[in-house]
Chain A
Amino acid sequence: MTADTPRPLPAAQRLRLSDAARHRWAVVSRALAAIAGGYGLAALCSTALALWLPLARAEAVITGALTSFAVYAGAAMWAFAARTAGRAWAGIAWPSAVLGVAVWFTLRGTGGAA
């Protein structure tokens, strides 16, 4: 995150963080993205599959839950493979946001049904 960042991080410079400290914070940030962000994305994916798969509803729910751990693992790996911590967050936050909005609309649409 330090050597490969093309432009210096202004916020970090203002805070006068050493390279080591910046590296440490970036690792913490990526770990948070992997653990919390990854769980959020996995939960949203499993919910989306449960709602949208054209299967019997129990089948869709089970399929969503079964695949969620693969999504979680993939997200966690992305969080550490991305070039910077910022990109790691972005790569998890964007799909989560899109899925979140879509799921929200689906739920609102069927809200009164069940």
Chain B
Amino acid sequence: MKGGFRQSMAWLHTWSGLLVGWVLFMVFASGTSSYFREEISFWMKPELHRTPAQPAAQQAQAVEQAVRLLEREGAGSPRWTIGLPDERDPSLRVSWLPSKPPAGGGARPRPLTVNLDPATGERLADTRATRGGDFLYRLHFDLHYMPAMWARWIIGFCAMFMLVAIVSGVVTHRRIFSDFFTFRPRKGPRSWLDAHNATAVLALPFHLMITYTGLVTLMFMYMPWGAQAVYKGDEKAFTAEAFPNARANVPQKAAGRPTPLVPIAPLLEQSRAHWQGSAATRVVVTLPGDANAAVTIYRDDSANLSANYASMVFDGTTGRLIETRGENIPPASETRGVFVGLHMAHFAGPLLRGLFFLSGLAGCLMVATGLLMWAVKERPKYAKALARGGRIGFGLRLVDGLNIGAIAGVPLAMAAYFWANRLIPVGIAGRPDREIAAFFTVWGLAALAGIVWPSRRMWQVQLTVGGMLFALVPLLNPLTGGSGLFTAAASGHWNLVGFDTVCLLLGACLLTSAWWLARRQATARGAGTQAPRRAAASTAPAAAPLQSEPALVPARHALGAAESASP
């Protein structure tokens, strides 16, 4: 490229970031929210808010309650799954696959799920049908309304751009450390650059880690070639060797001889002793009631960095230990496990989880300020055309519109999703899909409006509406059957307190940005042509027509130079 290495990397950084920035913003936003997927799901089922927050019940007692229900309702099912109560979800989650595949084959049968009180075995209140936090989690890598495979390739492609953008951004930035402490407000493009640098450098290890580990979570899909060459297409052998928890060794076919299931509580005791006191998190029974039944107990590895969870497999009729898995994991496999574990942060306690969340928000801001900076730097090119009453170019107009649709539109759509959860009547057919449709309808409208009217006014409107929707969530919650802030705090439901508080803070941030935009606009009007520099500084991020300003053009060149050379 023209100029030196650093200039070409600056160019690469700009374009690799810009071209996929809008998708990345959505991926960052939904991924960040997924750190609190369980908490979001709990908030979205207000029927559960009244159940007292209780210390986890005895596991042995809980598993007996689960088996009692499963023997009654899940007889003949090929698989039972018992999610044992823990700190983040104190309920006992019992699910089973339907005994017969649905007529017509085709789609895989979906498991039926029931939430139980772990102490009494009573069903918890019937909850509204909702995908809850799982929707945002899936959106993060599976998108929606398209086959998951396509979506994963699209996301992987964008993630690769992100990786290139991060590394080239670091290379571009020689004074990376000192610039982190530099913030020059109200200096137009310079301020956006400073904001971009601050959010990017502040959480740089996180950004790099989350991008690379994100690619690693799906690496055998993106890079299957090594496995194909070595295993010659024998996928089963590869899975069995590479994934310590693959279910390859458990019988998958029923023997056809009914045999009673071994009591599970003693097996739980045995596993706890084997794991030196570590509790179990999940019990899976395959072919219950058959002679080929097997019981797999998974260790609660929530304190473990790696996502290679340990498990023990028992014969389901005799209780004999068949094998233990995931204990002596070889280095490369464990590296992969740690990468995946780091991405999902299941190991993180509340404080660390909060830090991951803040880093994710910094990622959103990094992407957003980067996108806005492109528009701010591009605008002066049209200063003369605008002065003659002309228009800005198509590219800038498109970027302006997409910026609104992503940066203001995604938070707006998320808030709308939470509101839809409370406003769509309970019991209506296809309820979860309607909630999701609300998300996409609002987002689609926001993006469309942004592209058609990419103006400062549009930024203000969308930020204000999104901000109001978020800020009013703590009010909406108790009014639509949930436990409000104070009730939740009194009953010890800190997950609910957290959800409402974060929504309130997000709303406040969005409203502040809308207010800031209005104030800048007022300053620009007041200053008129006497203070062109101030007016120039106030253009971002709006697309309002701007007076011709020759002073800005040299400023832009200075910016380009400042990026690559230290003064």
Listed in ascending order, the chain A residues whose CB lies under 8 Å from chain B are 1-4, 34, 42-44, 46-47, 49-51, 55-66, 68-70, 72-73, 76-77, 80-81, 103, 107, 114
Contact = CB atoms under 8 A, between A and B. Distances in A.
Contacts, number: 117
A66 B332 contact: yes
A66 B232 CA distance: 20
B462 interface: no
A59 B227 contact: no
Interface string B197-224: 0000000000000001001100110110
A36 to B, nearest CB: 12
Contact of B219 (A51, A57, A66, A80): A66
B5 interface: yes
Contact of B230 (A43, A51, A80): A51
B225 A46 contact: yes
Nearest to B336: A62
B19 to A, nearest CB: 10
Q: How large is the interface on B (under 10, 10 to 19, 20 to 34, 35 or more residues)?
A: 35 or more
Q: Which of A56, A61, A63, A76 counts the most B-chain CB atoms under 10 A from its CB? A: A61
A55 B335 CA distance: 14
A46 B11 contact: no
B436 interface: no
Given A61-B238, A65-B219, 15 more contacts: A2-B2, A43-B223, A46-B225, A55-B330, A56-B241, A62-B242, A62-B332, A62-B336, A63-B332, A69-B212, A69-B215, A76-B164, A77-B164, A80-B8, A114-B232
A103 B229 contact: yes
A73 B208 CA distance: 12
Q: Which of B226, B330, B336 counts the most A-chain CB atoms under 10 A from its CB? A: B226
B241 A43 contact: no
A49 B226 CA distance: 8
B231 interface: yes
B163 interface: yes
Determine the main DSSP class of B at the interface with A: helix
26 contacts: A3-B2, A47-B226, A50-B226, A50-B230, A55-B332, A56-B241, A58-B332, A59-B331, A61-B238, A62-B332, A66-B332, A66-B336, A66-B339, A68-B219, A68-B222, A69-B163, A69-B222, A69-B223, A72-B160, A73-B164, A76-B160, A80-B1, A80-B8, A80-B11, A81-B9, A114-B234
Contact of B160 (A57, A64, A69): A69
B168 A46 contact: no
Determine the main DSSP class of A at the interface with B: helix
Contacts of B335: 62, 66
B155 to A, nearest CB: 14
Rank and list the top 3 A-B pairs by shortest CB-CB distance, nearest first: A50-B226, A58-B241, A64-B226
A81 to B, nearest CB: 5
Interface in B84-116: none
Nearest to B163: A73
Nearest to B232: A114
Given A50-B227, A50-B229, A65-B220, A80 B9 contact: yes
B230 A60 contact: yes
A28 to B, nearest CB: 12
B423 interface: no
Contact of A4 (B2, B12, B167, B331): B2
Given A50-B229, A62-B335, A1 B1 contact: yes
Nearest to A107: B229
A21 to B, nearest CB: 16
B561 to A, nearest CB: 18
A103 B171 CA distance: 33
Contacts of A2: 2
A42 B223 CA distance: 8
A47 B227 CA distance: 8
B238 A58 contact: yes
A57 B11 contact: no
Nearest to A63: B332
Contacts of A77: 9, 12, 164, 167-168, 171
Nearest to B167: A73
A66 B167 contact: no
Given A4-B2, A77-B9, A47 B231 contact: no
Interface in B162-186: 163-164, 167-168, 171
Given A76-B164, A77-B12, A80-B12, A65 B330 contact: no
Contacts of A47: 225-226, 229
Contact of A114 (B5, B227, B231): B231
A61 B164 contact: no
Interface in B38-52: none
A60 B242 CA distance: 10
B564 interface: no
Interface in B304-357: 330-333, 335-336, 339
B226 A65 contact: yes
Contacts of B9: 77, 80-81
Nearest to A71: B223
B461 to A, nearest CB: 36
A57 B202 CA distance: 39
Q: Which of B9, B171, B212, B222 counts the most A-chain CB atoms under 10 A from its CB? A: B222
B339 to A, nearest CB: 7
Given A49-B226, A77-B12, A103-B229, A61 B339 contact: no
Nearest to B160: A72
A44 B223 CA distance: 10
A24 to B, nearest CB: 13
Interface string B230-264: 11101000100110000000000000000000000
Contacts of A58: 238, 241-242, 330, 332-333
A59 B226 CA distance: 11
